[in-house]
Structure 1
Amino acid sequence: MHNIKEVRTRFAPSPTGYLHIGGARTALFSWLYARHTRGKFVLRIEDTDQQRSTEESTRAILDAMTWLGLNWDEGPFFQAERVDIHRAMVRKLVDEDKAYYCVCSPEELEEKRKRALAEGRKPKYDGTCRDKKLPPSDGAVVRFRCPQEGTTIVNDLIKGKISFNNEELDDLIIQRSDGYPTYNFAVVVDDAQMEISHVIRGDDHVNNTPRQILLYEALGYDIPQFGHVPMILGADKTRLSKRHGATSVMAYKELGYLPEALVNYLVRLGWSHGDQEIFSLDELIGLFDLGSIGKSAAVFNPEKLLWLNQHYIKSYPEDKLLDALNPFWNKLGLEVSDPDYGRHIIGDLRARAKTLPEMAESSTFYFTDEPPIDADAAKKFLTPEIAGHLEAIAEALAMIEDYSKEGIEVFLRNLAEARAIKLKTIAQPLRIALTGKTVSPGLDDVMLTLGKERVISRIRRTVSFIGSQPLP
């Protein structure tokens, strides 16, 4: 037995697709609560839907959890491997007359539903087979004998107290005609046997909770505490879906977001600590509590996520950023054979990049000896009179001894002064010579990273380029 005081939370996704933003946030809240209370976090895969569950989805969910850093203490357990346990518990309820076999056909049930709706009644099962004491038979389902009076109270850790009238609840099916236990039943048995103390899940499960509490009581299990997290909406206040942009966690990895940025963003969708926006994982573990989760739905704001990603790119450890950037460089056919060169490139670009592909894209001029020169920029800045200034820079650079950031700054200032021109007269032409573009990191940074030889050779190439242009 586990220590009864120990907090045990779980995340129990169905492997019928990728891990979505909503599921990831629920997992994060469960994980943080377990870490905050020094409890245990259990991962269980709810794969009883044999038609829709796939191994590929399971792998995608585990990969996404790992990428986000949500490590589990026990599991992954697979619900489908526990079906015999669930069936044994169904038999126990039937033996104790707390559940019964029902042979009403889907057609009959549909007929009853229509009649109830037409008569203004709630379309719940009318109890035809409730007291028939039918034996098991092909095609029969098992229904839970729900109490028909009284109320079931859910003391929700997030929403507060919610009361349900038992007469409104259905004699819910706990085992389908194919012999498979239903979700609502299997989840109770599994949570109870895994001694889950706190069930934190999306508020689309609120209406399942009273039925589940009645099942816990019927089975003689301790009832866990429930906390239902409000849903995530798109900017138009409808439920978050593909039309609002990417909804799967791994899509954000491919779009060049850092896991820390996504975790920080997800936790702030519905949880807050004063006005603080940026949290490290250790801070979150220290501060997280269920009482600070909002009761209303959170709105997904891509701009805010982008802002956080930019923050994390700026402050990320260099080597980790290098690892994260590599796949995006490879996609562009670029390879960093010298990690030091890679670190310098990162140092130049990280202050202005919002995503990793954007960073990789803006770094291409570091990898080619002849970066393509933007035609409009050439027309505007690479004029014949500039060629002489550029030539002078190349010649003087060959002699410079202090090739440091400060040394380069002083060199460029002095050269402009000696030639009686403003620094900005040569700044843009030099930038285009080195990068092919009019926008880049600081000139001194770029010159330092490229190194003296590359800089001189690019300036000379540009002088030749100017010489080869037809005169206007």
Structure 2
Amino acid sequence: MPEKEVPAKRVRTRFAPSPTGFIHLGNIRSALYPWAFARSQGGDFILRIEDTDTERSSQAAVDVILESMAWLGMTPDEGPFYQMQRMTRYKEVLAQLQAAGYVYPCYMSVAELDALRERQMAAKQKPRYDGTWRPGRGKVLPPVPEGVQPVLRFRNPQEGMVAWDDKVKGRVEIANDELDDLVIARPDGTPTYNFCVVVDDIDMRITHVIRGDDHVNNTPRQINIFRALGYEPPVYAHLPTVLNEQGEKMSKRHGAKAVTQYRDEGFLPDAMINYLARLGWSHGDDEIFSREQFLQWFNLDHLGTSAGRFDDAKLRWVNAQHLKAMADAALAPLVAAQLEARGIAADERLPAICGLFKDRCDTTVALADWAQAFYRDVTPTADDLARHVTDAVKPAIAALRERLAGVAWDATSIAAAIKQVLADHQFKMPQLAMPVRVLVMGTPQTPSLDAVLALHRRELVLERLGC
């Protein structure tokens, strides 16, 4: 655990993923808000890897979590901490609870539990552990079966209510008699999730737990464990689910992609932060904002109460706005990385190329597609060649090629050469510009032709115009 002293009132939040599969946008949204709240309050953001499910947890999944958070710039102040490395601490606290009478051994087998649940469901009762092995005044417990390792159960209060003021859901109250005595240690002595979480939140001095509302059912159990240990629980905010475009809960099974795939597909981290922020929080009608604005504005009072729905088209629009606003010099290294993945080495022209084409793009991949034409051969479609590079226009193309061989290589001089050829051949701009674009860029639609040609090497332009 961290050794530095933290003031009692200092905000401390956490993101506690289970590394049992790749991290997708629904998961990372649950990291975004605690990170943003800690930053907005001058507090601390802790990363905790809840890896007690040893059969399903993997280092590869941990690596994707760390890689995703690093890409998005959501750097934790402390951690990552791993639950499997804290087993000694959990067992120490477990022994304290047992000594205080809050924990008891239960010898009910899985088969007995299944039979109990079947009887309860047949009687239209809520399936739950019935307290067979719970000690009580004057109660005679069954004989301990030989050779059976018990689970340990937490003695949940049987009277009163568990209540908390949720920052999203408002006041939540659950009667204790609705909760059974949950298992907090397996037969091999390994503590279970709900217990480990409470010990971690106590030791890490977490003040605010901001997490998905799939954890709401765990919260009353965890609150009772907090109080059994002599601590008040943190403030809770249970976030509505993120749905996919079909309205289903976002998950790998329903087509969700790893966060790192969005990086590879050319999305910008600040655009992802912007888009994810709006999937459950708002600041008036502001749609596009910077990371700095988000961290300045964020609070828990404007979290939404309904599920956010992922929209790929909206994400691409947000990314396009950030792409347009980004400085060319800052954008160029990102596009260079995309080109490098294709075996293309960029040069000093790339910032200007980015500046010329970024208004047409929604990702750095799309921008790299344009930039590629400046570094690699283009292949116009047969249809474009037949439609635009006709016998009627070829003399004008040849005349332009001849003029371009001798002019100063800048947009102004190139524009003058184009204008002269248009006048000599009595063409309008599209009649010449579109075939030249097809030959030089592989497509009839580009930004201003003089600017495009000026960014190319003269020799390459002359070569491509030699149709």
Settle same-fold status: TM greater than 0.5.
Answer: yes
Q: Check conservation: 1:10, 1:44, Cα contact below 8 A.
A: yes
Matching of residues 1-400 of structure 1 within 5 Å: 1-131=5-135, 132=141, 138-242=148-252, 245-336=255-346, 338=347, 340-368=348-376, 370-400=377-407
Matching of residues 414-453 of structure 1 within 5 Å: 414-453=420-459
Displacement of 1:232 in angstroms is: 0.7
Displacement of 1:267 in angstroms is: 0.5
Tell me the distance in 1 between the aligned counterparts of 2:248 and 2:345: 43
Tell me the distance in 2 between the aligned counterparts of 1:81 and 1:197: 23
- CA offsets, 1:389-448, max 9 Å, x none? 1121122223324x4333333332233123332222211121122123222232112111
SS of 1:384 mapped into structure 2: coil
Q: Check conservation: 1:329, 1:335, Cα contact below 8 A.
A: yes
SS of 1:164 mapped into structure 2: strand
Q: Check conservation: 2:183, 2:192, Cα contact below 8 A.
A: yes
Q: Check conservation: 1:100, 1:134, Cα contact below 8 A.
A: no
Distance 1:385 1:122, change over 3 A: closer
Tell me the distance in 1 between the aligned counterparts of 2:206 and 2:433: 64
Tell me the distance in 2 between the aligned counterparts of 1:246 and 1:307: 19
Tell me the distance in 1 between the aligned counterparts of 2:361 and 2:198: 47
Q: Give structure 1 stretches of 5+ with no counterpart.
A: 463-472
Q: Check conservation: 1:102, 1:134, Cα contact below 8 A.
A: no
SS of 2:8 mapped into structure 1: coil
Distance 1:309 1:245, change over 3 A: farther
Residue type of the partner of 1:219?
Answer: L
Q: Check conservation: 2:250, 2:256, Cα contact below 8 A.
A: no
SS of 1:161 mapped into structure 2: strand
Residue type of the partner of 1:360?
Answer: A
Residue type of the partner of 1:380?
Answer: R
Residue type of the partner of 1:288?
Answer: F
Identity %: 40
Displacement of 1:286 in angstroms is: 0.5
Tell me the distance in 1 between the aligned counterparts of 2:443 and 2:236: 57
Distance 1:413 1:244, change over 3 A: farther
Residue type of the partner of 2:365?
Answer: P
Tell me the distance in 1 between the aligned counterparts of 2:443 and 2:68: 37
SS of 1:13 mapped into structure 2: coil
TM-score, normalised by the number of residues in structure 2: 0.93
Choose 285-294 or 430-439, whichever is displaced more.
430-439
Residue type of the partner of 1:383?
Answer: T
SS of 2:373 mapped into structure 1: helix
Tell me the distance in 1 between the aligned counterparts of 2:143 and 2:99: 12
Tell me the distance in 2 between the aligned counterparts of 1:95 and 1:456: 87
Distance 1:432 1:235, change over 3 A: closer
Q: Give structure 2 stretches of 5+ with no counterpart.
A: 136-140
Displacement of 1:91 in angstroms is: 1.2
Tell me the distance in 2 between the aligned counterparts of 1:442 and 1:423: 11
Displacement of 1:456 in angstroms is: 2.5
Distance 1:243 1:378, change over 3 A: farther
Tell me the distance in 1 between the aligned counterparts of 2:245 and 2:463: 51
Tell me the distance in 1 between the aligned counterparts of 2:149 and 2:69: 39
Choose 446-455 or 190-199, whichever is displaced more.
446-455
- CA offsets, 1:146-168, max 9 Å, x none? 11111110210111001001000
Residue type of the partner of 2:42?
Answer: R
Displacement of 1:354 in angstroms is: 1.5
Distance 1:246 1:335, change over 3 A: farther
Tell me the distance in 2 between the aligned counterparts of 1:16 and 1:319: 39
Q: Check conservation: 1:389, 1:426, Cα contact below 8 A.
A: yes
SS of 1:201 mapped into structure 2: strand
Displacement of 1:138 in angstroms is: 4.9
Distance 1:433 1:119, change over 3 A: closer
Displacement of 1:244 in angstroms is: 5.7
Distance 1:101 1:72, change over 3 A: same
- How many residue pairs get aligned? The number is 457
- CA offsets, 1:270-296, max 9 Å, x none? 100111011111101100011101111
- CA offsets, 1:207-255, max 9 Å, x none? 1101100000001123111100000112332212347644321121122
Tell me the distance in 2 between the aligned counterparts of 1:209 and 1:67: 31
RMSD over equivalenced CA pairs, Å: 1.9
SS of 1:149 mapped into structure 2: coil
Choose 237-246 or 97-106, whichever is displaced more.
237-246
- CA offsets, 1:274-331, max 9 Å, x none? 1101111110110001110111111111110010111122222334322222342233
Residue type of the partner of 2:369?
Answer: E
Q: Check conservation: 1:240, 1:247, Cα contact below 8 A.
A: no
Tell me the distance in 1 between the aligned counterparts of 2:392 and 2:205: 80
